[in-house]
Structure 1
Amino acid sequence: MLLFCPGLICDARTFAPQTAAFPDSRAINAYGLVDSLQDMARIVIDTADREGAERFDVFGHSMGGRVALEVYRLAPERVRRLALVSTGVHSPREGEPASRAALQQVGYDKGFTALVDQWLPPMVAEPNRDKAELYEPMRQMCLEAGQDVFDANVRALLGRPEVESLLPQIDCPVLVMTGELDAWASPAQHEAIAAVIPNSELVIVPGAGHMLPLEAPGEVNAAIANWLSRPVRD
Structure 2
Amino acid sequence: MVVFLPGLICDATMFTPQVAFFSDSRAIDGYKNADSMEEMARIVLDSAPERFDLFGHSMGGRVALEVFRQAPERVRRFAISSTGVHPRKEGETEKRHALRQVGYDHGFEALVDQWLPPMIAEQNRAKPEIVHPLKEMCMAAGQDTFDAHVRALLGRPEVESLLPQIMCPTLVMTGELDQWSPPAQLEAIADQMPNAELVVVPGAGHMITREAPEAVNAAISDWLARPAD
| TM band (smaller chain) | over 0.9
In the alignment, which of 130, 135, 141 is matched to residue 145 of structure 1?
A: 141
Tell me the C-alpha RMSD between the 2 structures. 0.6
**Within the alignment, does 1:78 sit opposite 2:70 as a pair?**
no
Output the CA distance in 1 between the equivalents of 2:105 and 2:33. 21
**Within the alignment, does 1:29 sit opposite 2:29 as a pair?**
yes
**Within the alignment, does 1:103 sit opposite 2:103 as a pair?**
no
**Residue 47 of structure 1, CA deviation:** 1.1
Structure 1 counterpart of 2:81, one-letter code: V
Q: Which runs of 5+ in 1 are unaligned?
A: none
- Indicate the percent of aligned positions where both proteins have the same amino acid: 69
Give the secondary structure class of the aligned counterpart of 1:182. Answer: coil
Partner of 2:55: 59
Output the CA distance in 2 between the equivalents of 1:165 and 1:72. 12
**Within the alignment, does 1:12 sit opposite 2:12 as a pair?**
yes
Q: TM-score, normalised by structure 2?
A: 0.99
Partner of 2:42: 42
Output the CA distance in 2 between the equivalents of 1:164 and 1:134. 32
**Within the alignment, does 1:123 sit opposite 2:124 as a pair?**
no
Q: 4+ runs of 1 displaced by more than 6 Å?
A: none
* CA shift digits 1:121-151 (9 cap, x unpaired): 0000011110012101110110110000000
Give the secondary structure class of the aligned counterpart of 1:176. Answer: strand
Output the CA distance in 1 between the equivalents of 2:167 and 2:196. 9
Partner of 2:191: 195
Give the secondary structure class of the aligned counterpart of 1:166. Answer: helix
Structure 2 counterpart of 1:149, one-letter code: T
Aligned pair count reads 229
* CA shift digits 1:25-55 (9 cap, x unpaired): 010011121001111111111111xxxx221
Structure 1 counterpart of 2:222, one-letter code: N
Output the CA distance in 1 between the equivalents of 2:54 and 2:118. 26
**Residue 232 of structure 1, CA deviation:** 1.2
* CA shift digits 1:147-194 (9 cap, x unpaired): 000000000000100011111111111100000000011100000000
**Residue 17 of structure 1, CA deviation:** 0.3
**Residue 115 of structure 1, CA deviation:** 0.3
**Within the alignment, does 1:154 sit opposite 2:162 as a pair?**
no
Structure 2 counterpart of 1:57, one-letter code: D
**Within the alignment, does 1:211 sit opposite 2:207 as a pair?**
yes
Output the CA distance in 1 between the equivalents of 2:39 and 2:77. 21
Output the CA distance in 2 between the equivalents of 1:146 and 1:32. 12
